[in-house]
Chains A and B, each alone.
Chain A
Amino acid sequence: DQQVKQNSPSLRVQEGRISILNCDYTNSMFDYFLWYKKYPAEGPTFLISISSIKDKNEDGRFTVFLNKSAKHLSLHIVPSQPGDSAVYFCAASSTNAGKSTFGDGTTLTVKP
């Protein structure tokens, strides 16, 4: 039973356009959500997070939206740049559990 799902394995976007990556979860106990970015031959790096008390968090070009009733979150990248091409993992955790459950990732390709 996969508790965090990223249903799109890949996404291709033109440079300058918006990239939208989606994530769904099933566990109602999750109250903290994170996005990690991974380049080849490197470990994942933290990108942005959101607590369940919020429905939006913004950091520069990156915005994460949370819809608790739908158990859905999304990452928006505006504008997309070629350097954003990477695998993006959605992760979810329960408060102070200290461990996260990861989705299988979405490979984003931003075309120049």
Chain B
Amino acid sequence: EAGVAQSPRYKIIEKRQSVAFWCNPISGHATLYWYQQILGQGPKLLIQFQNNGVVDDSQLPKDRFSAERLKGVDSTLKIQPAKLEDSAVYLCASSSPRQTDTQYFGPGTRLTVL
């Protein structure tokens, strides 16, 4: 079974630029999550999708961050414009309908904003 795929693995941009991250969850996993992990901290949930609907986006900075999961499979997270404090690893995770509490993570995208 293929794991959660993410791309790119690394991205360096200047502040005020925009960036997008892509995630492909495990096949059959209805729930998809985007997390932000700042160095030295645990993952912080940004947004949770159930199929293509948003379940929780209370921690998403909506003035600059957006995410979509149009067909209930792949998802894209965008930051526009980026700030220095957005430098972090962005993790995508998915969970199956039968075991929603256990999440399977992708390798993450390390974003550096200069």
Contacts and interface: CB of A to CB of B under 8 A. Distances in A.
Interface string A1-40: 0001010010000000000000000000000101010000
Interface in B31-87: 31, 33, 40-45, 48, 50, 55-56
Interface of A: 4, 6, 9, 32, 34, 36, 41-46, 49, 89, 91, 93, 96, 98-105
B24 interface: no
Contacts of A89: 42-43
Interface of B: 4, 31, 33, 40-45, 48, 50, 55-56, 91, 93, 95, 100-108
Given A41-B107, A98-B95, A99-B33, A49 B101 contact: yes
Contact of A99 (B4, B45, B105): B45
